[in-house]
Amino acid sequence: MDNTVSPMNTAEAPAAVNLDSADYYINRHLSLMNFNLRVLEQAFNESYPLLERFQFLLIFSSNMDEFFEIRMAGLKRQISFSRETIIDGMRPQDVLKQLSVICHEAFDRQYRLLNEIMLPRLAAERVRFLARSQWPPQVRDWARDYFRSQIMPVISPIGLDPAHPFPRLVNKSLNFIVSLEGKDAFGRESGLAIVPAPRSLPRLIRIPDNLCQDGDNFVFLSSLIHAHMDDLFPGMSATGCYQFRITRDADLDLNAAEVEDIARALRGELHSRRFGSAVRLEVSSRCPDDLIAFLLEEYNLGEDEVYRMEGPLNLRRMMELLKLLNRPDLAWPPFTPTLPKAMKDNPNLFELIGREDILLHHPFQSFTPIIDLLRQAARDPNVLSIKMTLYRTGSTSEVVNALLEAARAGTEVTVVIEIRARFDEEENLQLASSLQEAGAVVTYGVVGYKTHAKALLIVRRERGVMKRYCHLGTGNYHPGNARLYTDYSLLTADPDLCHDVHKIFQQLTGMGRAEQIQKLASAPFTLRKNLIKFIEAEAEAAKAGKPAHIIFKANALTDPKVIRALYGASNAGVRIDLIIRGMCCLRPGIAGVSENIEVRSIVGRFLEHSRVYYFLNAETRVYCSSADIMERNLSQRVEIAFPVSNPRLLARLRSDLQTYLSDNTQSWVLQPDGNYVLSRPGDDQPPCQAQQVLLEKLAN
């Protein structure tokens, strides 16, 4: 394949451009890290309510845990196995070194924000975290009693000596390294001990209201353990006590082609995940250098892999605070997702969907219709079968309850569960067991291809004729996520679409050649080809002097073939707007290559998750999809892109996309050097916050 194009403006660029050049691609790991920095930036946003800013601070910690478990660990594996083929031209060791510098600076900034702004402002709002030095006598007495009755019975200190080598500590668990003086009952004086903080105990404990001034007062579990460390070593003295935490490689090493039972093999791998190779050491900034050196040697880590934290470790566990507080004045105003008017007037979803397609935009519009459709199907004697894909849903959700009810009632229920949904594997295994016990047929998709498509197909007998109804979505069947993520849902009885979905389920549960589908595009078979075909058609339109426009909204854009096609279209004069939340390997704004491409990332109250692909000149102009534009999604996953052809719904989607493109307060614009700049309204522009506009337009 020839990846050389001739630019339109030869005065600004050479006559031919090699689109394989590393100069035109951004490293995916650096790009993802840049997204995490944009998340952290939300915690600095003075316009957000205080608890929402605090939550973004904690989300950043959660994101970074996964970043080290998967991305940093993956880079270390690449170095170990000398796998260095990367489109952007950067060697893994160079990427790792650059990321280390960025991560150290980001964590320092995060903890400065926590200590200098967040905690003082929360205290001003009567939400306090009392350090040991702040405990009045009555709190000290309570803390001693609480430690002895609630913590000491479940804690297990481990002295280090030849009979007690360094313990195997669980991934991301909180631990203490303790220096000791004196001898124990056996005459031992090793001088060091490890104390794991019990994972079964809450990380935040509320102090009884009668012991403190008004407001909400909390103490950290780590403070309670630290304050009473001597109690764990009778007759000895703890001369130093320091928190530390190890992050391990948590990517599962499961070769699906080499196992006979994926579910059984996965259960074994889930245990191994807890004890993968170490990739990061977090430690209290007060920990002496000799103890840090001891831990680094124990975990075979280098100095650049230690992170000295000025405050409590594992900030993610502070999410418990949001459940312990009742302070709506410090949070976003609540809203009620709405229903389309037709749904309010007619509760019979089969009748309604049979009459017209329905497009829902979550979380602004309710996810309840999907649950209600399942419930109605479960209780309708005319429903003969329900087929559904599940990726992330929650093992006790209303979606699962409806499927269980249908299976127990004798309806043919077939569920394709993707048990390899990262970090939801254990829950999905439990879900599979529950459905099987209820009588549902459960399969795990296709070996070697992760099932990421979101589809529900219902077959109903109506006046002696079989009729199909389906739901297709860009997000997961998780009611909780549907209130936090932006996604689209299409409810339809279109015969061609439903027949296509039927064929995809046949591919997933049975065997045979891929059948021709009429309206859907699916990975790994046709989705990439169709995207490139539509991109090239837009380029041809531009060359013919017609208006040409492409808008992609996705979570990530890393696929080289699609990026090359977009570069070619830009070079032909197509205006291209990319709304890419996270990783983007395309480098915009390069003369003769990508000067007609603008890339923006929206980060705000809701996690932007919907995937929409718009082409001005395509026969069907808009597709919504479960797939991001990544190599894995287009080649190694089962994905669905579904057309939205109803003129009224098409107009809605175009309007939504334009709203996102008009955002000038939460929109970060990607620069040619790979950095992002936050949009600001011009002097003659009113502020536009896309998520708020959609909230006011669609929700109550």
Domain 522-698, CATH: 3.30.870.10
User: What kind and span of H or E run contains 205?
Assistant: strand 204-206
User: What kind and span of H or E run contains 643?
Assistant: strand 637-643
Assigned token pair, 632: 């894995």
Q: How large a percentage of the chain has pLDDT more than 70?
A: 90
Other C-beta atoms within 10 Å of 658: how many? Answer: 12
Q: Is residue 74 classed as helix, strand or coil in its secondary structure?
A: helix
- Residue 272 or 562, more confident: 562
- Residue 226 or 235, more confident: 226
DSSP per-residue letters across 119-184: HHHHHHTTEEE--GGG--HHHHHHHHHHIIIIIGGG---EE-BTTBPPP-PPTT-EEEEEEEES--
Name the pLDDT band for 586 (thresholds 50, 70, 90).
Answer: very high
Indicate if the pLDDT at residue 256 is higher than 60.
no
- Tell me, what's the pLDDT at 163? 59
Rounded to two decimals, the pTM is 0.92
CA-CA distance, 530 to 634, in Å (whole number)? 11
- Tell me, what's the pLDDT at 14? 44
Mean pLDDT of 257-263: 46
Assigned token pair, 366: 């309710």
Indicate if the pLDDT at residue 5 is higher than 60.
no
CA-CA distance, 594 to 415, in Å (whole number)? 43
Amino acid at 12: E
Indicate if the pLDDT at residue 360 is higher than 80.
yes
CA-CA distance, 191 to 174, in Å (whole number)? 21
CA-CA distance, 439 to 409, in Å (whole number)? 9
- Tell me, what's the pLDDT at 265? 47
- For 326-349, give one letter per residue: b (16+ CB within 10 A) or e: ebeebbeeeeebbbbeebeeeeeb
- Residue 169 or 161, more confident: 169
CA-CA distance, 520 to 494, in Å (whole number)? 12
CB-hemisphere CA count at 13 Å for 348? 6
CA-CA distance, 45 to 51, in Å (whole number)? 12
CA-CA distance, 677 to 318, in Å (whole number)? 30
**Which stretch of 252-266, 370-384, 494-508 has the lowest confidence by average pLDDT?**
252-266
- Tell me, what's the pLDDT at 395? 61
Mean pLDDT of 202-224: 92
**Which stretch of 97-111, 445-459, 626-640, 647-661 has the lowest confidence by average pLDDT?**
445-459
User: What kind and span of H or E run contains 625?
Assistant: strand 622-625
Of 560, 555, 538, 532, nearest to 631 by C-alpha is: 560
Q: What fold characterizes domain 141-330?
A: polyphosphate kinase like (3.30.1840)
- Tell me, what's the pLDDT at 77? 87
Q: Is residue 599 classed as helix, strand or coil in its secondary structure?
A: strand
**CATH class for the region spanning 341-512:** alpha beta
User: What kind and span of H or E run contains 465?
Assistant: strand 465-473
CA-CA distance, 425 to 3, in Å (whole number)? 40
DSSP state of 197: P
The residues near 278 (Cβ < 8 Å, ≥ 6 apart) are: 246, 247, 248, 249, 299, 300, 301
Name the pLDDT band for 83 (thresholds 50, 70, 90).
Answer: low
Q: Is residue 58 classed as helix, strand or coil in its secondary structure?
A: helix
- Residue 696 or 81, more confident: 696
CA-CA distance, 95 to 89, in Å (whole number)? 10
Indicate if the pLDDT at residue 176 is higher than 90.
yes
Of 639, 621, 618, nearest to 630 by C-alpha is: 639
CA-CA distance, 472 to 488, in Å (whole number)? 8
Q: Is residue 489 classed as helix, strand or coil in its secondary structure?
A: strand
**Which stretch of 146-155, 167-176, 357-366, 506-515 has the lowest confidence by average pLDDT?**
506-515
Backbone angles phi, psi at 387, to 5 degrees: -125, 140
CA-CA distance, 507 to 514, in Å (whole number)? 7
Mean pLDDT of 676-682: 94
Assigned token pair, 651: 């107009």
Highest mean pLDDT among 389-403, 422-436, 449-463: 449-463
Amino acid at 194: I
Name the pLDDT band for 250 (thresholds 50, 70, 90).
Answer: confident
Mean pLDDT of 166-172: 90
Mean pLDDT of 599-624: 93
- For 369-390, give one letter per residue: b (16+ CB within 10 A) or e: bbbbbbbbbbebeebebbbbbb
**Which stretch of 177-186, 357-366, 625-634, 654-663 has the lowest confidence by average pLDDT?**
177-186
**Which stretch of 485-494, 569-578, 677-686 has the lowest confidence by average pLDDT?**
677-686
- Tell me, what's the pLDDT at 423? 54
Of 531, 518, 376, 370, nearest to 454 by C-alpha is: 370
Mean pLDDT of 318-332: 94
Dihedral angle at the C-alpha atoms of 168, 170, 171, 172, nearest 10 degrees? -120
Distance of CA 74 to the CA centre of its chain: 17
DSSP per-residue letters across 350-394: HHHHHHS-EEEEETTB-SHHHHHHHHHHHH-TTEEEEEEEESS--
Q: Where are the domains positioned within the chain?
A: 141-330, 341-512, 522-698
Indicate if the pLDDT at residue 455 is higher than 70.
yes
Cis omega (within 30 of 0) on the bond before 363? yes
Mean pLDDT of the chain: 89
Report CA-CA distances (Å) from 251 to 31, 417, 451, 509, 645: 20, 19, 18, 27, 40
**Would 141-330 and 522-698 be classified into the same CATH topology?**
no
- Tell me, what's the pLDDT at 234? 86
Query: Annotated catalytic sites, by residue?
Result: 452
Mean pLDDT of 64-75: 93
Indicate if the pLDDT at residue 420 is higher than 60.
yes
To the nearest 10 degrees (0 to 180), the angle between helices 398-408 and 368-379 is: 10
Q: How large a percentage of the chain has pLDDT more than 90?
A: 72
Indicate if the pLDDT at residue 137 is higher than 90.
yes
Mean pLDDT of 440-449: 84
